[in-house]
Amino acid sequence: MPPEWSSSPPELLLTVDRTSGGPLHAQLQHGLRDAIRTGRLQVGERLPSSRDLARSLGVSRGLVQECYAQLQAEGYLTTRPGSATRVATGAAVPPGIPQPSTAASRLVADFRCGVPDLGSFPVQDWLWALREAARTMPTARFDYGDPRGDSALREVLTGYLRRVRAAATDPQHIVVCNGYAQGLGLTLRSLADAGTHTVAFEAPGSPGTVTAAAATAGMRAIPVPVDEQGIDVRALAATAARAVVVTPAHQWPTGVALAPERRLALVEWARDRDAVIIEDDYDAEFRYDREPVGALQGLAADRVISIGTVSKSLAPALRIGWIVCPPQLAGPIAEQKHRSDRGTPTLDQLALARLIESGRFDRHLRRMRATYAARRTVLLAALAEHAPELPVTGLAAGFHAVAHLPAGADEHHIVTAARERSVGLYGMSAHRASHATAPAQLVLGFGNVGERAIAEGIATIGHLLAGRP
C-alpha cells in the first residue's frame, strides 16, 4: 500500500542537468519513469503538483505539465479532475523487485511461541504515560543523558525488581538497553574485553541469539544440556566456559524451573571458576501452578548479570530492557552502551517509569495473567479431547507449552501437514544447537492466539498430534 501523505505537497527527489545538452523535458520524463520502474514511486502514490515540482526544479510549470501528460499517455500516471496526479495501477516494475503481498496467509491458529498478546497492549495507559512524561520532562532531559539510562527509570526499576523479583541491586548498577538481544550483546562484549573467551548456553535454548552475540564479541559459544531440573551444572563444569546464559525461573523452551540445589551448584561453579552467570529473566511475571521463584541475581549479586525486558509483559515493539550488573561490571557495560548508541530513548524510559509508578503496569500484568491462564485451560482441554495421550509439560508459568509427540513421529512432517491445514506449529528442533528432530516435540505458544482459535486449531490437527492418519 503506498504512503498517503498529508495535505502538504509531497517532496520528490529529481534532478535536471542544464549542462548536458539534453532537453529538460526528456530528462524529467526519464527521471520519473525511472522512479516508477525501480519502485521509488509506488502504485497509487501521489506526485507533487506541477506548480510545486516546477518551483523545486527551477523550470516552467508548462514543462512539468507536458511531462505529466506524456507519462499519462504512456500509462505511467493517472489523474482525475480535482485530484492529484498518481502512479497508475499496472505501472511497470522490473522482475526481481519484491512487491508487498496483498494477501497474507490466514491461519486458523498460529501457535508461535515467545509472542505476548499484542492486541492487549495497554494503548491508553501507554499514551497517558507518554503524555505525563513529556509534560513533566525537564529541558535538560532532552540531551543525550546518562548512557546507563535515565535516573528516574533506574530508580523505579530498582524498587520494582526488589519487590517483584527479590533482586539485590541499586540504580547505580542498572543499565537500560534496547531489549534482550542488545543487553546480551553489551554483556558479552564487556566480558570478552575482560578476558572471557567462551560462553555456555542451555540446550535446548536460544542457540541463534547466543551464538550471534558471542560471535560479534569474538567469543566461542557451546551448548550445555538441560534436564528436568534445569541446566546440568556438572556438564557445564566440564567445559572451558567462564560465562553461561540461563533462564532459571522458566527455562526456555522446556519450561522447567532451575531446581534449588542446581541454583546453589551454579553459583558455586561461578565462584570457583571466577565466572559470570547471565540470567535471562524473560517471563517470570506469568505463573500459575507454583509459588513465585525469585531472580537468581538475588542469590549472588556479585556473580549474576540479570537481563529483563518489557517484551513479554508489554510488547516487543517498545524495545526497552535493563541489565542488572554486578558492581564491577556496571561501568564497562555502561561504556559499551555508550559506544553502541548513546542511550535508549529518554521519553520512552520516562513513560515506562510513570507506568510502573502509577500502578497501571501491575494492573496490566494481573489482567494478562488471567488472560493467559484462561488460554492455558482451553489448550489443555482441547488437547485432552483431541489428543488425550499426548504428554504436555512446561505449563507452570509463561505462555507456551511443550507437547511430546508419539515415538517415531516425524516433527517436520507434522509441522508441514499442520500448515497445509492452516495451523501454525513449531518444532523443538529450532531450539536445539544441532537442530535434531528427535525426540519429536512441539513448542505451543498461546500468548497471541485467542481461546476460540486455540480450540479450533487443536481440533483441526488433533489427529496429527495423536499420531493418527
Which run of H or E residues covers position 347? helix 346-357
Interhelix angle 327-341/180-193, rounded to 10 degrees, is: 110
Burial track 171-206 (b if 16+ CB lie within 10 A, e otherwise): bebbbbbbbbbbbbbbbbbbbbeeebebbbbbbbbb
CA–CA gap between residue 245 and residue 306 (Å, rounded): 10
**Model pLDDT, residue 19:** 84
Query: Would you state the pLDDT for residue 339?
Result: 96
Q: What is the pLDDT of residue 44?
A: 86
**pLDDT tens digits along 96-127:** 545 544 434 689 999 999 999 999 999 999 99
Q: How is 212-276 classified by DSSP, letter by letter?
A: HHHHHHT-EEEEEEEETTEE-HHHHHTS--SEEEE--SS-TTT-PPPPHHHHHHHHHHHHHHT-E
**Cis preceding-peptide flag for 260 (omega within 30 of 0):** no
**Pair 32, 71: CB distance under 8 Å:** yes
- Look up cell 538441560; give the residue: 226
The DSSP output letter for 308 is E
What confidence score (pLDDT) does residue 96 get? 53
Domain map (residue ranges) of the chain: 1-103, 109-118+363-465, 122-359
Burial of 212 (0-12, 13-18, 19+ CB in 10 A): middle
- Size (the chain), residues: 469
- pLDDT, position 139: 94
Domain 122-359 has CATH 1.10.150.120: no
Which parts of the chain have pLDDT scores under 70?
A: 1-9, 92-105, 289-290
Kindly give the residue spans of alpha helices, DSSP state H, lying in 38-102.
Answer: 50-57, 61-73
pLDDT at 95: 53
Distant-in-sequence contacts of 118-122, Cβ < 8 A, 24+ apart: 118/315, 118/448, 119/448, 120/367, 120/368, 120/371, 121/314, 121/315, 122/314, 122/360, 122/364
Whether 1-103 and 122-359 share one fold: the answer is no
Judged on CB neighbours under 10 Å (0-12, 13-18, 19+), 47 is: buried
What does the pLDDT read at residue 331? 97
pLDDT at 7: 55
CATH architecture of structural domain 1-103: Orthogonal Bundle (1.10)
Say what the pLDDT of residue 89 is.
Answer: 85
CATH numeric code, 109-118+363-465: 3.90.1150.10
pLDDT value, residue 103 = 39
